[in-house]
């Protein structure tokens, strides 16, 4: 298979980390699901005074002190409850290209700010992602896509979800003191991930926002292993929020929030999240063996057990990757017969991988054309995705059906479409996210593994099967698993110890 040309290197750097970063922004803006001192019932019974009129709150978004976007939220009384509308606009620099992203969320809450339903949309260029949800007891019924492409899923909730400006309403007008703690279960509609987070009131200090001096309470928390800081004024209104990689949100106004956004998108976001190495790797796409010293896992909440599976071996901070053999002896004919049930998760549809949809099933049949050997089918599908999906940075929640429609995307879109086509062909497959070498460092990237008697890596963005040895798998699974990568950003250090070619 042909290696990628150097002038196409930018295309291999996917937007996985961008989507994860947007999740962090969502958590900063939404302050999802708060309940006092870990007692959700106390929050419900002692809810904030009812709001009788609409109001908007504006925030400016900065990356490394350069303005890259804004957010606005509005809470309006409706039918004995509230309608919360939120919008985030960002312009980010991805390897020299400015990309605009817009997300909108509309949530219907009851009079205690408990979520009843929501609609979340994300748009980047020609690509649009939508998911809606409705709470039904301890379940959330989710629907992705629109029209004939709409799919339904159900997940169990750990606790009654309270999102949007519910937190702001909880703190507004309340007396808080240094030393208090608040616990909240987060539900994020983009990834469908749930996680408990504890926020502590750590200090009372002065803070200047747009030349105005405020007395503020400082609240600190950790989300997916990354620190976050909030400042609230004496009335409980949010003044400022800080996340990781220089992400900051600041209270603003309608006249100020949309002005002076960096047309270039500010600093290159991919490079901010990348990991540099001193020893360079020439002809990296041909590497069959790589030995890396890795540091930073102890400073994160990341589970390193995945580093010691399959083609990866991890011992005492040293990671070795041995590329799989190119010859495949599958031991089964398509479709895979899952008698044990262990492969069911890798054969079944899931949000973003609609392998049972007629359009994807028909496309898979047309590509494979009756081939029964899984190794040969995998190679044909990898090649088809590589040749037909236009390599263009797209920042959205990856969705196989949408990719089949637009035929545009970066590594995330290539990976989910390949995974869906493999499953539709009767081949177990899963999405992998981790690091790959390019431009003198390691960048976050997505690819696929398919099962042909053993798991085989394949990169449809680079047309590789198996993927070269610089592919370091950190996570496998959907976005609800990929958020685990957040804890590593800015902490990992890597040193090349050895490498080999066949």
Tell me the CATH number at 348.
3.10.620.30
Print pLDDT tens along the chain (502 aa): 434 333 333 334 444 445 555 544 444 444 333 333 333 333 333 444 444 456 788 999 998 889 999 989 888 888 888 888 888 898 988 767 788 888 888 888 888 777 888 888 888 777 777 888 898 888 888 888 777 777 888 888 877 776 544 555 666 667 889 999 877 666 665 556 666 678 799 999 999 998 899 999 999 988 777 788 989 988 888 899 888 778 889 999 999 999 999 998 888 777 787 899 999 999 999 999 999 999 998 877 788 999 999 999 999 999 999 999 877 777 899 999 988 889 999 999 988 899 999 999 999 999 999 899 999 999 999 999 999 999 887 777 788 998 999 998 888 899 999 999 999 999 999 999 999 998 889 998 899 999 998 999 999 999 999 999 999 999 998 777 777 787 888 889 999 999 999 8
Domain count, the chain: 2
Is residue 265 one of the residues assigned to a domain? no
Boundary-marking domain end, from 209, 224, 257: 257
- How far apart are alpha carbons 429 and 450 in whole angstroms? 4
The pLDDT value recorded for residue 234 is 85
- How far apart are alpha carbons 481 and 20 in whole angstroms? 11
Exposure string of 119-156, with b = 16+ CB inside 10 Å and e = fewer, is ebbbbbbebbbbbbbebeeeebebbbbeeebebeeebe
> Is-contact 201 217, C-beta < 8 A?
yes
Is residue 289 one of the residues assigned to a domain? yes
Is residue 100 one of the residues assigned to a domain? yes
Boundary-marking domain end, from 203, 229, 257: 257
Residues 248 and 344 in one domain: no
The pLDDT value recorded for residue 246 is 81
Query: E strands within 110-211?
Result: 115-124, 127-136, 139-144, 151-156, 181-188, 193-209
Residues 172 and 287 in one domain: no
The pLDDT value recorded for residue 13 is 44
Is residue 386 one of the residues assigned to a domain? yes
Residues 225 and 349 in one domain: no
Is residue 264 one of the residues assigned to a domain? no
The pLDDT value recorded for residue 191 is 57
The pLDDT value recorded for residue 188 is 60
The pLDDT value recorded for residue 17 is 47
The pLDDT value recorded for residue 358 is 94
Place of tokens 């949010």: 238
Phi-psi region of 349 (alpha: psi -120 to 50; beta: other; left: phi over 0): beta
Is residue 6 one of the residues assigned to a domain? no
The pLDDT value recorded for residue 169 is 61
Of 3, 4, 15, nearest in space to 443 by CA: 15
Residues 249 and 283 in one domain: no
- Residue 131 structure tokens: 């998911």
Residues 124 and 31 in one domain: yes
Residues 278 and 248 in one domain: no
Boundary-marking domain end, from 228, 257, 286: 257
Which residues fall within 8 angstroms of residue 200, CB to CB, at 6 or more apart? 179, 180, 181, 182, 219, 220, 221
Residues 245 and 290 in one domain: no
The pLDDT value recorded for residue 394 is 74
Residues 215 and 280 in one domain: no
Residues 212 and 337 in one domain: no
Residues 238 and 342 in one domain: no
Is residue 219 one of the residues assigned to a domain? yes
Is residue 169 one of the residues assigned to a domain? yes
The pLDDT value recorded for residue 164 is 46
Residues 119 and 241 in one domain: yes
Provide the domain limits for residue 318.
274-494
Residues 318 and 227 in one domain: no
The pLDDT value recorded for residue 337 is 92
């Amino acid at each position: 298979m042909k290696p990628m040309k150097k002038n196409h290197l930018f295309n291999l750097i996917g937007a996985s980390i961008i989507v994860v970063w947007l999740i962090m922004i969502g958590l900063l803006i939404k302050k999802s699901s708060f309940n006092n001192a870990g007692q959700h019932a106390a929050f419900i019974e002692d809810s904030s005074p009812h709001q009788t009129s609409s109001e908007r709150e504006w925030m400016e978004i900065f990356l490394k002190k350069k303005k890259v976007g804004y957010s606005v939220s509005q809470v309006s009384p409706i039918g004995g409850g509230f309608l919360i509308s939120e919008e985030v606009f960002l312009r980010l620099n991805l390897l020299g290209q400015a990309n605009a992203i817009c997300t909108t969320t509309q949530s219907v809450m009851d009079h205690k700010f408990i979520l009843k339903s929501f609609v979340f949309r994300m748009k980047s260029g020609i690509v649009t992602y939508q998911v809606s949800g409705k709470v039904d007891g301890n379940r959330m019924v989710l629907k992705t896509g629109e029209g004939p492409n709409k799919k339904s899923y159900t997940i169990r909730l750990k606790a009654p979800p309270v999102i949007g400006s519910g937190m702001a309403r909880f703190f507004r007008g309340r007396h808080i003191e240094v030393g208090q703690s608040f616990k909240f279960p987060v539900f994020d509609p983009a990834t469908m991930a749930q996680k408990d987070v504890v926020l502590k009131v750590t200090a009372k200090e002065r803070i200047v926002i747009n030349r105005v001096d405020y007395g503020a309470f400082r609240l600190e928390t950790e989300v997916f292993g990354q620190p976050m800081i909030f400042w609230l004024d004496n009335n409980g209104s949010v003044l400022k929020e800080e996340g990781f990689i220089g992400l900051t949100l600041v209270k603003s106004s309608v006249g100020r929030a949309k002005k002076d956004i960096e047309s270039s998108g500010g600093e290159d976001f991919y490079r901010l999240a990348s990991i540099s190495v001193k020893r360079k790797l020439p002809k990296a796409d041909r590497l069959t063996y790589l030995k890396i010293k890795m540091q930073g896992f102890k400073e994160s909440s990341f589970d390193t057990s995945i580093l010691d599976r399959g083609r990866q071996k991890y011992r005492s901070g040293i990671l070795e990757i041995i590329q799989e053999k190119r010859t495949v002896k599958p031991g089964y004919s398509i479709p895979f017969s899952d008698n044990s049930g262990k492969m069911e998760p890798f054969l079944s549809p899931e949000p973003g991988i609609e392998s049972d949809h007629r359009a994807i099933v028909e496309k898979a049949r047309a590509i494979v054309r009756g081939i029964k050997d899984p190794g040969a089918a995998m190679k044909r599908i990898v090649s088809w995705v590589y040749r037909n999906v236009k390599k263009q940075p797209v920042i959205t929640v990856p969705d196989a059906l949408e990719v089949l429609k637009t035929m545009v995307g970066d590594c995330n879109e290539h990976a989910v479409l390949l995974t869906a086509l493999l499953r539709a062909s009767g081949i177990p497959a899963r999405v992998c996210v981790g690091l790959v070498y390019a431009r003198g460092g390691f960048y976050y990237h997505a690819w696929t593994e398919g099962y042909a008697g053993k798991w085989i890596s394949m990169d449809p963005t680079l047309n590789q099967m198996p993927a070269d040895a610089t592919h370091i798998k950190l996570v496998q699974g959907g976005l609800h698993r990929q958020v685990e990568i957040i804890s590593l950003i800015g902490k990992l250090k890597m040193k090349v110890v050895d490498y080999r070619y066949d």
